[in-house]
Structure 1
Amino acid sequence: MLEELDIRNLGPIHEATITPASGMTAITGETGAGKSMLLSALSLISGGPADAGRVTVGADEAWAQGIFAVADDAVAAGVAHEAGVDVEDGELFLARTVKAAGRSRAVLGGKSVPKSVLANVASALVTIHGQAEQLNIASASRQREFLDHASDDGEQLEAYHAAWRALRDMDDRLERLRSQESSARQRADYLRESVGRINEVDPHPGEDEDLKVKRDRIENAADIAEGVSHALAALDSSQLEFDASTETTGASDLLLQAAQALRGIHAAGEFQELADRLESLNAELQDVVFALSKHLDEDFGDADLDTLNARIHELSELTRRWGPTLADVLEWRDKASFEIEDLDASPEKIAELEAEREGLYRKAVAAADELTEARSRAAATLAGKVTAELESLAMPGASLEIRVTRRSGESEDALDANGGDDIAFLFTPYEGSAQLPMGKSASGGELSRLMLALELSAADMHAGESSQGQQDAESGMTFIFDEVDAGVGGKAAVELGRRLARLARTSQVIVVTHLAQVASWADSQFVVTKIPPDADDDAVGVITTVQQVRDDARIREVARMLSGSESEASLDHARELLADSRLNAGE
């Protein structure tokens, strides 16, 4: 949802801030006042073309910024995250600067990004239905996306995408196998020789480090034996063979003597407890003595050292070529074994994969069939709802048909990444007219109303699928309508306003309108006013202001829209119109 739109030096607008309502906001003003600049600002922050000619005369640059309320799990948040920008405090900033010299700069969350990134994020936040932007619906891909958005085919679409990816992966693998030449065979020979060498040595993870430790002990055997002997002599001389004439007393004997001496004391006190502690120390000391005594029996010979060095050398050769560690060597061997299977490209292997590919193709076809059925059901429902809406939007006899045509045959063109369907929106603008592709058969105003009917019908279909009723999956979207009231008046204008207000129950709606019957339904209203240049300062030129109108000021603006004046009759009519719209807004 758009929380704030800030503009500086864009056309006649030197500075303006708009804080649209969460529901419906109307932008009004006299013809030529500069309402189109607001759409230009929205187009800029949505990644649209940058026109240096729209920079205010005398200014160095134009700037527009939109502040959007975005949930952390929203689609726009995910797209922004991929660009390195995260939502902060539930808000996302989209900005664009256009230099008078012609260059532009896109900014997302304070970070400069390519214009395409801004467009991708904005596409999940804003939908502009203006004379230029809404012609995007004329493309087959956009029509397919809209139908999938409106329909409940998410499960079928996901299943098809999974089947299609599996099929394409297999096709890529087969293509790689079939296109092998001598270089591939040479690599297969190299891999086989390398795997054979590794298997011949038969290394184990960490073996080289263990052997180096053992070698170090062999090389220092004399020092180890001498150190262990002295340690044992100091701790427990009974573990060593000494000359019978030599008498030594170890630490263990001394501890036992001390304990016995304490136990011989018959006076009260802590002596018995201290004796227990000395005996406990001796038990721990005996564990150390036992561990050291085992090293006295170790036998390190020259033959063992030669064998160790030879083995360490073998392992070093492996890690030098395929390391840096033995674990890396083993991992490389396993991957190479799989690669050899593909590089061999034997006829039997290709035949096996081709059979597997046929099964994957059948699964993709079956998934495409289910997707076609879901789209066909949704197309009939959506077209029926749109046709019913058009009658109330001053387009009697108009209708929409959404044609879902399944491609036939076994060719590669029968399926693509989006299924096996050709989808076409065919619009009949009036009774008796031929069906024409959407976008080529309607004026700007008719196409705007057709898009409104589409958005309303899609919202109704989502509400029918949702248990929340008033909130659908796209409730964070902001819809911008321009020229939607072209050629509309009277009762049809009231119905148009009513339907815009209905769409605003589930999404934010901003409409540029010259009809009081439409503006009266809005939750908030902004007036774009053109101020002529001061007679004493022609250099300033025309200035356009944007102000929100409330209470009496809004009544006067609606009166102006009704009759071009603020007569008592027009003011009464404006009050009545606003009151009726508020009364009926909850329908």
Structure 2
Amino acid sequence: MLEELSIRSLGPIRSAIIAPAAGMTAITGETGAGKSMLLSALSLISGGPADAKRVSPGADKAWAQGIFALSDTHADDGSDRDGADAEDALDAAAIARAAGVEPEDDELFLARTVPVSGRSRAVLGGKTVPRSVLAKVAARLVTIHGQAEQLRIASSARQREFLDRVAGDETELEAYRAAHRALADMDERLARLRSQESSARQRADYLRESIDRINEVDPHPGEIEELKAKRDRIENAAAIAEGVSHAIGALDPSQLESDSGSDAPGASDLILEAAQALRSIHAAGDFGALADRLESLNDDLGDILFDLTGQLGEDFGETDLDSLNARIHDLDELTRRWGPTVEDVVAWRDKAVFDIEDLDASPEKLAELEAERASLYRAALDAAGALSAARTAAAGELAERVTGELASLAMDGAALAIRVTPREGDAPLDANGGDDIEFLFTAYEGAPERPMGKSASGGELSRLMLALELSAADMRAEHDGGATADMTFIFDEVDAGVGGKTAVELGRRLARLAATSQVIVVTHLAQVASWADAQFVVTKEPPDADDDAVGVVTTVAEVRDEARVREVARMLSGSESEASLDHARELLEDSTL
């Protein structure tokens, strides 16, 4: 919902702030007062084209900002979806988050700056973003039905999106898209195998040869480090034996056969001798504790001596240094090609085993995939059929409702038909189903059906869009149990060529739509404006005599109570006579649902 629209230096509007009602808001004023600038501001923040000529005279830039309140669904939805139309399924908050903007207090700020020279600047939540991002966010928040904007519904894609929203076919649509994604993935896999058959065979041959080489060496995790450590000990065996023997001789010469006859004491003997000397002291002191420490130290030396003795007798068996080096060389070769570690080599081999399956474009493999593809295609066709059935049912109901509404909007004999035509041929499916959707409008009884947008005037098309939005809102409310929509609808020219009783019915229908959505209507009819929950008047002010550069200035102000009565009276008769004022009061009192 649009909470606030701010404008600066846009056309004749120097500064304006509008806080629309949650329901229906009417924008009124004399012809040429500048009501179109409000639509221009909304178009700008919706990512529309920027025109530097619309910057107010004497200003260096124009600026517009809209503050939108998000529903709980918008604010909390951080989901991510796959598929070709994943972005279409996202709401405004999700698109903003994808652009790095987090809504604050369940609100989004959309702003646009248009300088006199240079490029315009789009801002979302205080962060500069591409204009396309602003457009995508605004498309989830605002629908403008003006002379140019509403022609977008003439496109087949927009008509399909509109029908899907009305049909409430989210379950069928998601089921179809899942089936279509699976089919598309299989088609991509088959195309890759067929188009790259030669290179795939070469790749498969390389993988097989690599796997065979790795299996031939048969590496084991941690093996290369163990072998290199073993080689190092073998190559330094003499130095190790000499050093260990010397250490053993220093600790306990009796452990060495060459010193078996020597009477020289070792370190262990000397420590024990020192401990006994301390224990022989019978005077006061901590000599016993010191003796204990020496004996504990001797125990540690015993453990060290045991380990050294074991290493002195280490037996490498019949290990051949040449074969050991050859094994290390083979392992080094593997790690250079598929490493850097033996663990990486093993992981590469295991993955290559699976990769070969996809690269094997043998007739048997292709036949297997073709059969799987046929099964996926049948599933997609079934899902497309279910989706088409839901669309067809909704299309009939929507067309009937819209045709009924048109009769009350000064369009007797006008009718809407919605065709849901299943495609035929070799490739009937796309990412959105297997249907061609077409909205066909009959302008009057006996007139031919023509594509919507090519057979109606601007005012007729606006009323047709009102009938569409109103019928769609009624259908959604019935499907969703009366839930309200999050969209803000802007209507311009909807009252063109309308008057009298039809104008009252037009206002009534806009008010009905405002019961479930926010509606802003630019109108010159009192019978329409009287239904609004809030009314803003656009007024031209004469030029400032002290500033010739400014020229005509347009102001925008909300009118309430008697001020609103006077504005409605002006719209009725162009004057504020007692009769017109009484008529205005009566009209306002009667304009209730």
Query: Is residue 251–residue 266 contact of structure 2 (8 Å, CA) maintained in 1?
Result: no
User: Which of 448, 451, 457 is the equivalent residue of 1:443?
Assistant: 457
SS at match of 1:457: helix
Structure 2 matches for 1:294-305, cutoff 5 A?
299-300=315-316, 303=319
Residue of structure 2 equivalent to 1:549: 559
Give the structure 1 partner of residue 509 of structure 2.
499
Which of 519, 522, 540 does residue 509 from structure 1 map onto?
Answer: 519
Counterpart of 1:459 (choices 457, 466, 473) is 473
Identity, % of aligned pairs? 75
Partners of 2:251 and 2:6 lie apart in 1 by: 85
Identify the match of residue 401 of structure 2 among 363, 379, 385: 385
Q: Tell me the distance in 2 between the aligned counterparts of 1:505 and 1:142.
A: 24
1:134 Cα offset (Å):
0.4
Cα distance, 1:357 vs structure 2: 1.7
Tell me how far apart the structure 2 counterparts of residues 484 and 399 of structure 1 sit (CA, whole Å).
17
Answering whether residue 532 of structure 2 is matched by residue 522 of structure 1, we say: yes
Aligned to 2:294: none
Q: Distance in 1 between matches of 2:529 and 2:247?
A: 99
Against the structure 1 CA distance between its residues 420 and 306, is the aligned structure 2 distance closer, same or farther, given a 3 Å change threshold? same
The Cα shift of 1:393 comes to 2.4
Q: Which of the residues 419, 438, 448 maps onto 1:424? A: 438
CA drift of 1:104 comes to 1.8
Distance in 1 between residues matched to 2:201 and 2:96, nearest whole Å: 45
State how far apart, in whole Å, the 2-side matches of 1:312 and 1:196 are.
Answer: 18
- Supply the AA of the counterpart residue of 1:47: G
Cα deviation 1:330-353 (Å, max 9, x = unaligned)? 443344334433434222222222
Corresponding position of 2:115? 99
Paired position in structure 2 for 1:433: 447
> Structure 1 residue 143: deviation in Å?
0.6
2:336 is equivalent to residue 320 of structure 1: yes
Aligned partner letter, 2:451? P
**1:211/1:537 CA distance change after superposition, 3 Å:** same
Residue equivalent to 1:41: 41
Give distance in 1, aligned partners of 2:246 and 2:22.
87
* Cα distance, 1:199–1:441 mapped onto 2, change above 3 Å: same
TM-superposed deviation, 1:378: 0.9
Q: Which residue of 2 aligns with 1:351?
A: 367
Given that residues 371 and 419 in structure 1 are in contact (C-alpha distance below 8 angstroms), is that contact kept between their aligned partners in structure 2? Answer: yes
The answer to whether the Cα contact below 8 Å between 1:63 and 1:98 also exists between their aligned partners in 2 is: yes
CA distance in 2, matches of 1:359, 1:509: 48
Residue identity opposite 1:200 in structure 2: E
Amino acid in the other structure paired with 2:192: R
- Paired with 2:430 and 2:336, the residues of 1 have a C-alpha distance of 47
Q: Which amino acid aligns with 1:432?
A: G
Partner of 1:152: 168
CA, structure 1 residues 317+486, in 2 after alignment: closer, same or farther (shift >3 Å)? same
Report matched runs for 1:195-214 at 5 Å.
Answer: 195-209=211-225
Kindly indicate whether the alpha-carbon contact (under 8 Å) linking 2:200 and 2:361 is maintained by their aligned counterparts in 1.
no
1:341 equivalent in alignment to 2:351:
no
- Tell me how far 1:220 sits from its aligned partner: 7.9
Distance in 2 (alpha carbons) for counterparts of 1:452 and 1:215: 88
State the alpha-carbon separation in 2 of the partners of residues 236 and 509 from structure 1.
Answer: 102
Change (3 A) 1:134 1:288: farther
Q: 1:224, 1:88 → 2: CA distance? A: 72
Q: Which shifted more, 127-136 or 6-15?
A: 6-15
2:291 corresponds in structure 1 to none
Amino acid at match of 1:465: H
Cα gap change, 1:315 to 1:77, in 2 (>3 Å): farther
- Looking at structure 2, the residues matched to 289 and 52 of structure 1 have their Cα atoms a distance apart, in angstroms, of 93
Change (3 A) 1:347 1:524: same
Q: What is the match of residue 64 of structure 2?
A: 64
Partner letter of residue 440 of structure 1?
Answer: K
Could you say what secondary structure the match of 1:534 adopts?
coil
Are 2:253 and 2:260, in contact at CA under 8 Å, matched by a contact in 1?
A: no
Give me the whole-angstrom Cα distance separating, in 2, the residues matched to 1:578 and 1:237: 120
Q: Secondary structure at the match of 2:374?
A: helix
Per the normalisation by structure 1, the TM-score is 0.84
User: Do the aligned partners of 1:527 and 1:546 also contact (CA within 8 Å) in 2?
Assistant: yes
Structure 2: distance between partners of 1:445 and 1:304: 98
Tell me the equivalent position of 1:28. Answer: 28
Mapped contact 2:473–2:516 kept (Cα < 8 A): yes
Q: 2:204 touches 2:356 (CA, 8 Å); kept in 1?
A: yes
- Structure 2: stretches of 5+ with no match in the other structure: 78-89, 280-296
Q: C-alpha distance in 2, partners of 1:493/1:65?
A: 32
Q: CA distance change for structure 1 residues 555 and 184 in 2, over 3 Å: closer, same or farther?
A: same
Q: Secondary structure at the match of 1:546?
A: strand
1:303 counterpart SS class: coil
Cα distance change of structure 1 residues 331 and 20 upon mapping to structure 2, 3 Å threshold: farther
Partner of 1:67, secondary structure, is strand
